[in-house]
A and B are shown apart, each in its own frame.
Chain A
Amino acid sequence: MAPLISIKDLSVAFHGVPVLRGVDLALHKGEALGLVGESGSGKSVTWLAALGLLPRNARVSGSVRLDSREILGAPAAELDRIRGGRVAMIFQDPASALNPVLTIRKQLCESLALHRDISGGAVKAEARRLLDLVGIPDATRRLEAYPHEFSGGQVQRIMIAMALAGNPDLLIADEPTTALDATIQAQILELLSTIRREMGMAMVLISHDLGVVAENCDRVAVMYAGRIVEEAPANQLFADPVHPYAQGLIGALPPLDGPRRRLTAIPGTVPDPASMPDGCAFAPRCALAEAPCGIVAPSLAPIAEDRAVACIRAEASRRALLGIAAE
């Protein structure tokens, strides 16, 4: 089966400085993919680029296929139809995505009119149904309220309702709960997974929180300095990370119970995109780096049927595994 969306060799540069350096990702219908990595690693830019949402000064290349149809560089009208239609996005700061001077009803109905073949009373009824669906009590009355009359968690629910207005096949949720308190975050994540299950919607969950991604996704991709460095089923990634960066991220997370141990911090900081090291971008921080790591950037290569890693060491062990002699 062809993937719902497939990104190949996606690269982005701002003012000649590359920030995405060949990203490959694919998502099947109904699947939940997590995207983790330190801030600045290119998580948001990947999806902004894929959906044609980057400013003009961005140079984008590669391929993004939605149902096998190339959408990178597609005409504005087609992208407008896709965004909010088949593919919807929600962001960390939902308030900025809502218009403060319009009622929730106006904004929801606008979305519905744009992306659905319904009109008149049906639009309003559907708006009410969506608000109900995302768990806003007293939907009929609340439709007439303005964004500021809702709490942070409720605004994020409304954003989810707006995203659902176009009946999307894919929801890109970029740090959707980062600004929320723990108990409210749990509510929103549960809502997302319920809706996803009921609607058979695929989701990309972008988060810096490994726990959030682990619990809510089938598969996880780890990004570092504009590349995917490891991709694996969620349970396998956390039980047995292969890439030294993925190992570092997991080791840096303090345990919530059991014995306390010293955290394994990753030394140093993420490289500046304008002065990217040669070879593996992680080499300056990698405890396992060897001389060859500074020469060629390792490419993302499969190490098992559903796992891939971009690390020279993993490549070497894979070669050994497959009985291929190193050249």
Chain B
Amino acid sequence: MSRPLVEVSSISRSYSMRSGMFGRSAAIHAVHGVSLTIPRGETLGLVGESGSGKSTTGRIVLGLEPPDHGEVRFDDKPMATPGTTAWRAQRAHMQMIFQDPLGALDRRLPVAAQIREPLDIHGLGTPLEREERVRELLRAVELTPAHGARYPGALSGGQRQRIVLARALATKPDFLVCDEPVSALDVSIQAQVVNLLADLQAQLALTLLFISHDLRVVRQISNVVAVMYLGRIVEIGCADDLFARPEHPYTQALVSASPAPGRRSAGRIVLAGDPPNPAARPQGCAFHPRCPRTITRCASEVPALSNVGGNRQVACHLVTGPQVETRDAA
């Protein structure tokens, strides 16, 4: 089997933040010991609540910022140092799209000019070829040259996100990091963009890191899904059965919290407590203050992400620890 296109080994990143009334500087462990691999042409989905470290992971994987520890390898080579020629060459093969297409676009330029920009920057093709490529890209995202002549303000949210996608595809990247790309869109428009992304991925053999807080959207597009909580991956497995059979108590709560037509809220797991605070990461399993199934060692020992069979990895003492009996008793 060929090597995965993207290999992330045990990356960590912390930021320092001044907090509290004494102005002490606290360390925020935004990402802690995250490892991921994404095979060519596949999609890895990253879910978790806000502040869990999804975007930071995305930026590190894309080489936009270096990890404090750990390594990212792209196409079997280490990520080049930001700013160098090698880095620019590598970067042409990877692109990013964000939640807010309006923020990513220049309001004063027709959108076709913005799709063309990366071609100009990387000096790809003659001016005529670039024009043709822009038309091709517009077609690829199911828009017309007439749309290309418009300014961002004259397009709908879904159309703007298509423009951003067209621009990201201009340099024929192998790898796309999509950070909440459809979160701001209405569900009908969201479905258009998700379908489009899936089609383009199949046509162009794109590899994707797809970040979202929306379990449904992530499952729709991913082969493998990783669940993050306070900077760590707590569960990872096949998109098809992760949400059908979540093993980690946090994944179970997330699935249970995801409202579904045709189901009443009876029997829902409602977590107590506030959303987690990355500046005050609890000892042991970071989820223990909110976990409905916590046991003594959860407060002191960090559970390791371990294989539980069936391509699933879980970081929970109940699932992988020696206390398998307590699981049945609970």
Measuring CB to CB, which residues of chain A are less than 8 angstroms from any residue of chain B?
A: 38-39, 151-154, 181-187, 189-190, 193, 208-212, 214-216, 235, 238-239, 248-258, 260, 262-267, 269
CB-CB < 8 A to A210: which residues of B?
A: 187, 261
CB pair B191 A252 closer than 8 Å:
yes
CB pair A190 B268 closer than 8 Å:
yes
Q: Which of B224-273 contact A (CB under 8 A)?
A: 239-240, 243-244, 253-265, 268, 270-272
CB-CB < 8 A to B256: which residues of A?
A: 186
CB-CB < 8 A to A239: which residues of B?
A: 262
CB pair B270 A269 closer than 8 Å:
no
CB-CB < 8 A to A260: which residues of B?
A: 219-220, 239-240
Write the nearest CB–CB distance from A56 to chain B, whole angstroms. 27
Known contacts A39-B186, A190-B265; is A256 also within 8 Å of B158 by CB?
no
| Chain A residue nearest to B253 in the complex (CB) | A183
CB-CB < 8 A to A187: which residues of B?
A: 270-272
CB pair A263 B191 closer than 8 Å:
yes
A214 to B265: give the CA distance in the assembly, Å: 10
Q: Is B194 an interface residue (CB 8 A)?
A: yes
Of B61-69, B173-181, B209-217, the one contacting chain A is B209-217
CB pair B195 A211 closer than 8 Å:
no
CB pair B275 A254 closer than 8 Å:
no
Q: Which of B150-202 contact A (CB under 8 A)?
A: 156, 158-159, 186-192, 194-195, 198
Interface size on B, residues (CB 8 A): 45
| Chain A residue nearest to B260 in the complex (CB) | A211
CB pair B260 A254 closer than 8 Å:
no
Write the nearest CB–CB distance from A266 to chain B, whole angstroms. 4
Known: A212-B259, A267-B192. 13 other contacts (CB 8 A): A151-B275, A153-B275, A182-B257, A183-B49, A183-B253, A183-B254, A184-B274, A186-B270, A210-B261, A214-B262, A253-B187, A254-B194, A256-B258
CB-CB < 8 A to B220: which residues of A?
A: 254, 260, 263
CB pair A256 B190 closer than 8 Å:
no
Known contacts A182-B49, A254-B219; is A211 also within 8 Å of B259 by CB?
yes
CB-CB < 8 A to B219: which residues of A?
A: 254-256, 260
Known contacts A211-B259, A254-B219; is A38 also within 8 Å of B275 by CB?
no
| Chain B residue nearest to A239 in the complex (CB) | B262
Residue from B158, B159, B198, B274 in contact with A151 in the complex, judged by beta carbons closer than 8 Å: B274
CB-CB < 8 A to A193: which residues of B?
A: 265
Known contacts A183-B253, A256-B255, A266-B188; is A250 also within 8 Å of B261 by CB?
yes
A219 to B290: give the CA distance in the assembly, Å: 33
CB-CB < 8 A to B90: which residues of A?
A: none
A165 to B227: give the CA distance in the assembly, Å: 40
CB pair B254 A216 closer than 8 Å:
no
A249 to B260: give the CA distance in the assembly, Å: 13
CB pair A269 B189 closer than 8 Å:
yes
CB-CB < 8 A to B187: which residues of A?
A: 38, 208, 210, 249, 252-253
A215 to B257: give the CA distance in the assembly, Å: 11
| Chain A residue nearest to B272 in the complex (CB) | A187
Q: Which of B104-148 contact A (CB under 8 A)?
A: none
CB-CB < 8 A to A265: which residues of B?
A: 188-189, 191-192, 194-195
A265 to B196: give the CA distance in the assembly, Å: 10
CB-CB < 8 A to A184: which residues of B?
A: 49, 274-275
Residue from A151, A154, A190, A252 in contact with B188 in the complex, judged by beta carbons closer than 8 Å: A252
CB pair A269 B156 closer than 8 Å:
yes
Known contacts A183-B49, A187-B270, A263-B195; is A252 also within 8 Å of B261 by CB?
no
The 8 closest A-B pairs by CB, nearest first: A211-B259, A238-B261, A252-B191, A265-B191, A254-B220, A186-B257, A181-B49, A263-B191
CB pair B259 A209 closer than 8 Å:
yes
Q: Is B50 an interface residue (CB 8 A)?
A: yes
Please name 11 pairs of A and B residues whose Cβ atoms are closer than 8 Å in the assembled complex, sorted by A: A153-B275, A181-B275, A211-B259, A252-B187, A253-B191, A256-B215, A256-B216, A256-B258, A257-B243, A260-B219, A265-B188
